[in-house]
Structure 1
Amino acid sequence: MSNFENIIVEHEGKVATVTINRPQSLNALNAQTISELSTALDELNTDGNCRVVILTGSGEKSFVAGADIKEFSDFNSEKAEELARNGQNSLFNKIENMSKPVIAAVNGFALGGGLELAMSCHIRYASENAKLGLPEVTLGLIPGYGGTQRLPKLVGKGLANELIFSAKMISAGRAKEIGLVNEVFTLEELLPKTMELAVQISKNSPLGISRAIKAVNLSGSSEGFETEIKAFGELFELEDKKEGVAAFLEKRKPEF
């Protein structure tokens, strides 16, 4: 694993926890942090000892408070478009399309790019003190890291419009009500509960999960059903299916 300045990568069994560690700026995303996250996720995606990734922020106040505005405050249109495109391709889309599940443990503020980062993850758990929102229109901007695309898929177009247009923050409880996060826990419970889920997932077929991620990501598109059908068929030729079915028939737990 590479050496990093702004993130910490820890391994526990088959689960890797990636912590964004810029507490002095409430873990805001700058170019270096995005680059380090991209590199770490590339390495974890090819690490045979890692089956699930947890993504969280350091401290008790913030998951990611947003993008580091100082870095792009004087950009022109061309540089701003490049920033958004590179960020989406190198990190946000990468997370969504990883072959391994990424779970966001949202511990506090998840605003702007921070909420977009959480939404790119496959599952979101949050602490009771979490505040979530997309405040970009207060700066005369819009979300640029996929927020206008992922939020409607999670909560519906009407609620997405309300949150984006109003720029208001919502509580973790409200986020759960509308389907933006899966579960809410106390701050002390957040990481243990997230780890509990990650360990449960890590026991299941990695080949099945990787194909499920791809199929779910295409749900609602013209390719979704065909992708599911083909993946279902492909898995019949692979070792995980053979082990899973054998374990079921032999009344034992599978070993993937």
Structure 2
Amino acid sequence: MSEQQPYVKQTIENQVGYIEFFHPAHNSLPGDVLAKLAETITEAGKNDAIKVIVLKSGGDRTFCAGASFNELININDEATGKVFFSGFANVINAMRKCPKFIIGRVQGKTVGGGVGLASATDYCMATKFAAVKLSELNIGIGPFVVGPAVQRKLGLSGMSQIAMDANTFYSAEWALNKGLFTQVFESTEALDEAVEIFSEKLCNYNPEAMAEMKKMFWKGTEDWDQLLAERAAISGTLVLSEFTKETLKRFK
């Protein structure tokens, strides 16, 4: 498998299912990779050989740069826009519905939709390099699809802060204090060791108890299939606005 080809892959070690995604453009996620990621998470939830899931990305520096910019600039109608923004909605909903705990392993910066993925994990561990940014307002849209997941972790105050201050990276320490991250480590090596120890420890617990706890943690989100679809439609409309089209041309 070429290091420069996008992929989603799963490995199982000591009953922990490691789901890894990669894209050469700073782990940005086009629609096909998002669809594969949602499918892989759903299937892992049904796999009896897996008791706990770890979500991670390839590469050393960036956890996830958010939605694929190349796909974003080619949206020309509302239907295509809604499908595009539904990609992250489908992954977040797959994570929400998965009966197994999902541990996030965030090794570096995460932007936009990537913050949504980190927020949708059940327990997220990171390095000190894992600054977060919600950059959507920069291009004339907003973090509508990932907003519910981010708000669930950061609270409305924290979410609105980084959503409005769309040019600023907020430190891993800030994300730790707000509750997005549970622990922050000095290096990727220390992070990986801690993720492995914690995940394998969870595998010793009653799967039925963990599944019931997961339901409890996500109580009140039962409407997210509809809510996130509605949010995707809002983004799909805004991306066609004159403001956003002009902004995207400058980025291009």
Question: Which TM-score band applies after superposition, normalised by the shorter structure?
Answer: 0.7 to 0.9
Report the counterpart of residue 103 of structure 1 in structure 2.
Answer: 103
Letter in 2 for 1:53: I
Q: Distance in 2 between matches of 1:31 and 1:84?
A: 9
Report the counterpart of residue 7 of structure 1 in structure 2.
Answer: 8
Q: Distance in 2 between matches of 1:42 and 1:85?
A: 16
Letter in 2 for 1:102: I
Letter in 2 for 1:91: V
Where do residues 70-219 of structure 1 align in structure 2 (5 Å cutoff)?
A: 70-75=70-75, 76-88=77-89, 90-146=90-146, 148-167=147-166, 168-185=168-185, 186-218=187-219
How far did residue 220 of structure 1 move?
Answer: 9.2
Q: Distance in 1 between matches of 2:145 and 2:220?
A: 20
Normalising by structure 1, report the TM-score.
0.79
Q: Distance in 2 between matches of 1:209 and 1:180?
A: 20
Q: Highest CA radius of gyration, 1 or 2?
A: 1
SS in 2 for 1:11: strand
Change (3 A) 1:119 1:19: same
SS in 1 for 2:180: coil
Where do residues 54-73 of structure 1 align in structure 2 (5 Å cutoff)?
A: 54-73=54-73
SS in 2 for 1:145: coil
SS in 1 for 2:63: strand
Report the counterpart of residue 53 of structure 2 in structure 1.
Answer: 53
Per-residue Cα deviation, 1:38-58 (whole angstroms, up to 9, x for no partner): 221122111111001111111
How far did residue 176 of structure 1 move?
Answer: 0.5
How far did residue 219 of structure 1 move?
Answer: 5.6
Change (3 A) 1:42 1:154: closer
Letter in 2 for 1:159: G
Q: Distance in 2 between matches of 1:166 and 1:91?
A: 25
4+ residue runs over 4 A deviation = none
Structure 2 regions of 5+ residues with no counterpart? 223-252
Greater relative contact order (Cα 8 A, min sep 6): structure 1 or 2? 2
Change (3 A) 1:110 1:5: closer
Letter in 1 for 2:81: A
SS in 2 for 1:177: helix
SS in 1 for 2:153: helix
CA RMSD in angstroms, aligned pairs only: 1.8
Answer yes or no: is the 8 Å Cα contact 2:67–2:112 preserved in 1. Answer: yes
Number of residue pairs aligned between Structure 1 and Structure 2: 215
Change (3 A) 1:111 1:220: closer
Letter in 2 for 1:64: C
Letter in 1 for 2:10: V
Report the counterpart of residue 243 of structure 1 in structure 2.
Answer: none
Letter in 1 for 2:162: L
Per-residue Cα deviation, 1:180-214 (whole angstroms, up to 9, x for no partner): 21110122111111111111111111111111111
Per-residue Cα deviation, 1:52-78 (whole angstroms, up to 9, x for no partner): 111111111011111101112232333
Letter in 2 for 1:165: M
Report the counterpart of residue 244 of structure 1 in structure 2.
Answer: none
Answer yes or no: is the 8 Å Cα contact 1:129–1:187 preserved in 2. Answer: no
Answer yes or no: is the 8 Å Cα contact 1:84–1:144 preserved in 2. Answer: no
Letter in 1 for 2:54: I
Letter in 1 for 2:9: I
